[in-house]
Structure 1
Amino acid sequence: MDRKVVLITGGSSGIGKSIGTYLTSKDFKVYGTTRNLKNYPDFNAFELLQLDVKLPDSIEKAVSEIISKEGRLDVLVNNAGVGITGPIEETPHEEIQNVFDINFHGPVHVMKAVLPQMRKQGGGKVINITSIAGYMGLPFRGYYSASKGALGLITEALRMEVKDFGISITNLAPGDFATNIAAGRYHSPVVDGSPYQEVYQKSLDLMNEHVDAGGDPIQVAEKIYAIIQKENPKVHYPVGEFMQRLSLFLKKILPDKIYEKLLLNHYKL
């Protein structure tokens, strides 16, 4: 059988690059994407295409190029995303729109672009990279939680809509991993005199510590590979440190106020 063809958005660095490199080693034909191809003249881990998830035309162009070259598209890994921090009250609205454009609207546009081909070929897999943060409203990460949570719910809905076409839609939710996401994250400024000044700065420092101490992104790549091998993948897969995965279990079983208290203690609020 021919090699499976995989498209990974946001494949030039971080988790996306780890996934692409790992799948290439497993003999998949991998296409990664980046917003600006000129920034990666020496990239040779796998083939890289230009794609901006905020621009539907660029999505259609990249997907059409893959189908023209390969005649099929077996797996989409919706990985492109952006971080954002800040008090709900003080985060600029244009930044709220931007995070939803990238983390929610973008992946939806990419899914809509690949589904006709997957339906035509009689099957395919879509794996949406969300976040453990998408299962809960985290202080000073509320907009990030909301954007990833929205993608998780769309995953659940679309999965049922396309099941008769042999297409599976799955949500993979990573915890904190040692990547460059913190460097690219939008931080609402810590405003002198703001009622949130002190507590937001403390939370910001704590978040960065968690990312710096995060696990190896290869864990996500290995989980992606395992999901691809499954005939009928589950709806949700978390991946991360034990305590991060435990937090999802506790969210299900604990009363809301007790769980909230755990989060307040964790973030020292």
Structure 2
Amino acid sequence: MESKVVLITGGSSGIGKSIGIFLSSKGYKVYGTTRSLGKYPDFDHFSLLELDVSVPESISEAIQKLLEKEGRLDVLINNAGIGITGPIEETPHEEIQKAFNTNFHGPIHMMKAVLPAMRQQHSGLIINITSIAGYMGLPYRGIYSATKGALELVTEAMRMETKDFGVHITNLAPGDFATNIASGRYHAPVEPKSPYKVPYGNTLKMINDHVNDGKDPICVAEAVFAIIRTDRPKIHYKVGAFMQKFSLFLKKILPDKQYEKLLLNHYKL
């Protein structure tokens, strides 16, 4: 049986790299993307394509190259993303737009680019990597939560719109995992005279500690592998620590203000 062709955006590091290495070990033909191939001259885990998810022309060129070489694309994993933290009032709007361009508009551009080929094949799977943070408005991570929550809803809609094409679309929401996302995240500076100085400073430290103490991203790779092997993927999947997933259950059953109080207590606000 011919190996499935998999494309992973943001595949040169972090969760994307872990997924790529794991799927390669299972016999899949894996392509990852990076905005700059020149930064990875010795990358030999799987093939890399130069692609910027915020530039539609870049996407079109990369998809065309892949299809010319392989003749098909079986799985798209929309993993590329950036972090952003800060009081919304003090976060420069250009940084908010940048986060949406990568985390929300980028996956939409990617899906638009691959759907014609998948429709022609009458088969295909799209996995959008979102976040457990996308299920709730988290203090000082509100913009990040919004980008991921928006992608969750778009996935729900596109599943219904594409149901007759033989294409499956699903969300996979990770919790905190030990990756380098903190180093590439934009965070609004903790200003000495800011009214948010103390609570934001403390929350930022807590966020970084959670990432550093996070689980091995191989857990996400294993979840992706399980989804690929499923004939009928669910709409939503979550992977992460028990308490992170349990927080979603609490959000469903608790009154809004009680749940908000839990978050405030958790972040010591």
Query: Which TM bucket (shorter chain)?
Result: over 0.9
- Taking the aligned partners of 1:253 and 1:119, their CA distance within structure 2 comes to 39
- Taking the aligned partners of 2:7 and 2:249, their CA distance within structure 1 comes to 31
Task: Describe the SS at the equivalent of 2:33.
Answer: strand
Query: Which residue does the alignment assign to 2:98?
Result: 98
Query: Which residue does the alignment assign to 1:125?
Result: 125
Task: Describe the SS at the equivalent of 1:27.
Answer: coil
Aligned-residue identity in percent: 70
Is 1:176–2:188 an aligned residue pair?
A: no
State the Cα distance separating 1:55 from its structure 2 match: 0.6
Task: Describe the SS at the equivalent of 1:246.
Answer: helix
Query: Which residue does the alignment assign to 1:33?
Result: 33
Task: Describe the SS at the equivalent of 2:90.
Answer: coil
For residues 14-29 of structure 1, what are the structure 2 equivalents within 5 Å?
14-29=14-29
Task: Describe the SS at the equivalent of 1:31.
Answer: strand
Paired residue type of 1:11:
G
Is 1:215–2:238 an aligned residue pair?
A: no
Paired residue type of 1:200:
Y
Query: Which residue does the alignment assign to 1:68?
Result: 68
Paired residue type of 1:135:
Y
Task: Describe the SS at the equivalent of 1:54.
Answer: coil
Cα deviation code 1:208-253 (max 9, x no counterpart): 1100000000000000000000000000000000000101111111
Query: Which residue does the alignment assign to 2:233?
Result: 233
- Taking the aligned partners of 2:32 and 2:143, their CA distance within structure 1 comes to 26
Q: Please give the TM-score of this superposition, normalised by the length of structure 1.
A: 0.99
- Taking the aligned partners of 1:77 and 1:20, their CA distance within structure 2 comes to 10
- Taking the aligned partners of 2:263 and 2:179, their CA distance within structure 1 comes to 23
- Taking the aligned partners of 2:230 and 2:253, their CA distance within structure 1 comes to 28
RMSD: 0.4
For residues 178-197 of structure 1, what are the structure 2 equivalents within 5 Å?
178-197=178-197
Task: Describe the SS at the equivalent of 1:261.
Answer: helix
- Taking the aligned partners of 1:172 and 1:227, their CA distance within structure 2 comes to 9
Cα deviation code 1:128-175 (max 9, x no counterpart): 000000000000000000000000000000001001111010000000
Number of positions where the alignment pairs a residue of Structure 1 with one of Structure 2: 269
Paired residue type of 2:77:
V
Cα deviation code 1:172-202 (max 9, x no counterpart): 0000000000010001011111110011000
Query: Which residue does the alignment assign to 2:87?
Result: 87
Stretches (4+) displaced over 3 A: none
Q: Which runs of 5+ in 2 are unaligned?
A: none
Paired residue type of 2:260:
E
Task: Describe the SS at the equivalent of 2:249.
Answer: helix
Cα deviation code 1:88-120 (max 9, x no counterpart): 100000000000000000010000000000000
- Taking the aligned partners of 2:202 and 2:141, their CA distance within structure 1 comes to 13
Is 1:204–2:222 an aligned residue pair?
A: no
Q: Which runs of 5+ in 1 are unaligned?
A: none
State the Cα distance separating 1:45 from its structure 2 match: 0.2
- Taking the aligned partners of 2:25 and 2:15, their CA distance within structure 1 comes to 15
Query: Which residue does the alignment assign to 2:138?
Result: 138
Task: Describe the SS at the equivalent of 2:245.
Answer: helix
State the Cα distance separating 1:86 from its structure 2 match: 0.3
- Taking the aligned partners of 1:65 and 1:176, their CA distance within structure 2 comes to 34
Query: Which residue does the alignment assign to 1:107?
Result: 107
Task: Describe the SS at the equivalent of 1:243.
Answer: helix
